[in-house]
Amino acid sequence: MEDQDKIRWRIPEDTGVGVTKLAETIVAARGVAPQDFFDLDYVRLADPFLLQDMDKAIEHLLKVRARKGKVAIYGDYDIDGLTATALLLDALTSFGFDVMSYIPDRFEEGYGLHAPALQHLIDAGVDTVVTVDCGISATSVIEEMSALGLHIVVTDHHTVPEVEPQGAVALINPLRALSDYPERALAGVGVAFALVRALQTRDPQSMPVGQEKWLLDLVALGTICDVVPLQGENRLLAQYGLKVARKSRRPGFRALAEVSKVEMSRLVASDFGFRFGPRLNAAGRLEHAATALALLTSQDPPSARSAAERLDDLNMERRRTTETIQAEVFAQADAYAKDAILVLSSPDWSHGVVGLVASRAVEKFGKPTILLQEEGEFSKGSARSVGDFSIIEALRACDHLLERYGGHRAAAGMTLRTQDVSQLRELLNQNVKKKHLVQMEREASADAWLHSDYVTMDGLDQLEKLEPTGQANPAPIFYVRSILDAVKLVGKEGDHAQITFAVGGNLQRAIAFQAPSKWPFFNVGTEVELLVAIRENEWQGVRRAQLEVLQAREYVNGD
C-alpha cells in the first residue's frame, strides 16, 4: 500500500462558487490572468528571431539550399524528437531542401549525437545536420565533427551546460543566457517549429503565411507528450494543435486513432498523452523508433495502418515487460528503504522501459529514482524526480562518475561504469540536505470543494474550457469530506470499488481504482476525505459526468 503519510494535502477554502464561474475561478486561483489563458490568439506567438543564433541558422540554411547541399535532421527516439523530426522533414521539403533524417538506436547508440553516426552522414554527402531535441550537451562531438567540415545547427531545449559546444553554426535553445524568447519552456518540437516560422519569414512563397498551421498537430503531440508546462506559448501551441489534429490530414494520426479507439473529432490532450504517446514511444523502447517515424510521415493509409498495428503490438509487449520489471524494482527497493534517492540496477532491466518504471517507483515511494540496466562494463538508465527536487542538478554534482548524462529537473538519462553504481548511490544520498528533503515532498492539491452541480453536463462544459490540461495546468481536482454510504467491489478480481457518499444532501457515486489495496479503510459508515476528478463517461451514446477517486484518507477530527 502506498504510504499516504508522505503526501501533504493542500485544501482550499470552500468558496461555494457556482458552476457557471467554475473555470475562471480555478484559473484565477492558480494565479493566471484570464487573458493569458482563455481564447489565446495565434498571433501572440513570439518572434522566432528572439531565439539566440536563429538568424545565423536561417542565413546558413538558405545558403545550403542555394548550393543544393543535403541536410540531415538528427532526432531523438522519444516522441518529442520524433515529432520534431517529422515536422522538419515535412517543412524543409516544402521549402525545397534536399533533406533526410537520422534517428539513433537507443540500444546500440543511446541518446544524443554520436561521432560515428555523423561520420556516416558525411559519407552520405550531408552538408548540414540540424539536431532536434538533442545536441546542446554534445560538446566534444560537435567540436570534433565541425573540425571535419560538417555544419551543425543545434535546436534543443534541454539544460545548457556551463561550457557550450564550440564550432556549431548555431545553438538554438530558449534556455541560453542571451536568448530573449519569452517562452523558455518550449518542447524540442516547439523549438523546431520556431525554426520553421523563421524560415517562413525569409521565404513566404515556399510556405505561405497560415500554411505552417498544418504542422501544429505534430507540435501539439510532442509538446503534450514531453510534459512541458502547458502555459503561455506551450498552451497556445497545444490548443491550436489539437484543433488541427481533430481534422488532421495525416494518415498516421488517423491510423493511431483507430488502433487506440480514439474519436478524432473529439481528440483531447489526454488522448495524446495516454493513447498515442505510449504506442509511439513503444517502438524506440523495444526496437528502433523508425516504425514510429514512418507512421508520422506516412502519406499512404494502408502503410500507416500497418505501422499503427505494429506499434499497438509493441505497446502491449512493453506493458508486459514493464510489469515484470516493476515487481523486481519494488522488491529491490526494500533493501534501500532508508535512502532519500533510490539508485537500483539489474542486468535484466531493459533501459528502454526503466524510465516508465522509475515514474511508478516515484509514485509509490515518493523518492527520486534512478533505474539502470547493467550491460557488462557500462550501465544505462533513467532518472525521475519528485516535487521541486532537480535531478539534473543532483547528477551534475556527480558528473565525474558519469560517462554521459542529460535531461532536466524532472527527468534525466545517463550512462556510467557498472562498478561506479554503488558509489553514485552513496554520493547522491550524501549530497541530499534537509532542504532537499523538503523539495521532495509530494503534494495532493485540490482546486475547489466538490459541489453537486459540478457533477453535471454544465460542469463538464466548464472543465472543457480548461483544456488542454497537463503539466502546470493539471485537470482540476476537487475535495470532499463525507461518510461512505455504500461500497461495492467491482472488476474481474474485485480489485476496484464503486463508492457512494453524500455531497450537499445529494448522493454521488465514484469509481475508486485499486481501492482495496490502496484504501482498506473504505467501509460503509467510515468518514473519509477524498480528492476526486470529474470525468466524462459515454455509454451507449449517452454522455454523463462521473467521479474518480484520486486520493483518500480516513478523516480524523482535528486533522
Q: What is the pLDDT of residues 274-290, one digit of tens each?
A: 999 999 999 999 999 99
Q: Region 203-217: what's the mean pLDDT?
A: 96
Report the interhelical angle of 79-94 vs 277-286 (nearest 10°). 100
Which of 58, 75, 110 lies closest to 372 in space, CA to CA? 110
* Pair 128, 64: CB distance under 8 Å: yes
Backbone angles phi, psi at 129, to 5 degrees: -110, 130
The pLDDT score that the predictor gives to residue 547 is 97
Domains of the chain by start residue, with CATH: 4-30+447-554 (2.40.50.460), 45-242 (3.90.1640.30), 247-321 (no CATH), 337-442 (3.10.310.30)
Q: Region 454-458: what's the mean pLDDT?
A: 96
The pLDDT score that the predictor gives to residue 541 is 76
Distance (Å) of CA 535 to CA 95, 154, 229, 397, 510: 43, 41, 22, 43, 10
- d(C-alpha 446, C-alpha 132), whole Å: 37
Mean of the per-residue pLDDT values for the chain?
93
pLDDT at 559 over 60: no
The whole-model pTM stands at 0.89
The pLDDT score that the predictor gives to residue 80 is 96
- d(C-alpha 154, C-alpha 419), whole Å: 33
pLDDT at 557 over 90: no
The pLDDT score that the predictor gives to residue 34 is 87
DSSP H/E element including 418: none
- d(C-alpha 263, C-alpha 171), whole Å: 40
Q: What is the pLDDT of residues 18-60, one digit of tens each?
A: 999 999 999 999 999 888 899 889 999 999 999 999 999 999 9
The pLDDT score that the predictor gives to residue 558 is 57
* Pair 158, 408: CB distance under 8 Å: yes
The pLDDT score that the predictor gives to residue 1 is 41
* Pair 80, 131: CB distance under 8 Å: no
Q: Region 111-133: what's the mean pLDDT?
A: 96
Q: What is the pLDDT of residues 139-159, one digit of tens each?
A: 999 999 999 999 999 999 998
49/434: higher pLDDT: 49
Band (pLDDT 50/70/90 cuts) for residue 435 is low
DSSP conformation letters of 248-300: ---HHHHHHHHHTT--GGG--HHHIIIIIHHHHHHHHHHS-THHHHHHHH---
Q: Region 249-274: what's the mean pLDDT?
A: 94
Q: What is the pLDDT of residues 515-551, one digit of tens each?
A: 999 999 999 999 999 999 999 987 777 889 999 999 9
What DSSP state is assigned to residue 470?
B
Characterise 356 by phi-psi region: left (phi > 0), alpha (psi -120 to 50), beta (else): alpha
What DSSP state is assigned to residue 476?
P
Whether omega before 468 lies within 30 degrees of 0, making that bond cis, reads yes
Torsion sign, CA atoms 271, 274, 275, 276: positive
Band (pLDDT 50/70/90 cuts) for residue 2 is very low
Q: Can you name the residues that pair with 467 across neighbouring β-strands?
A: none
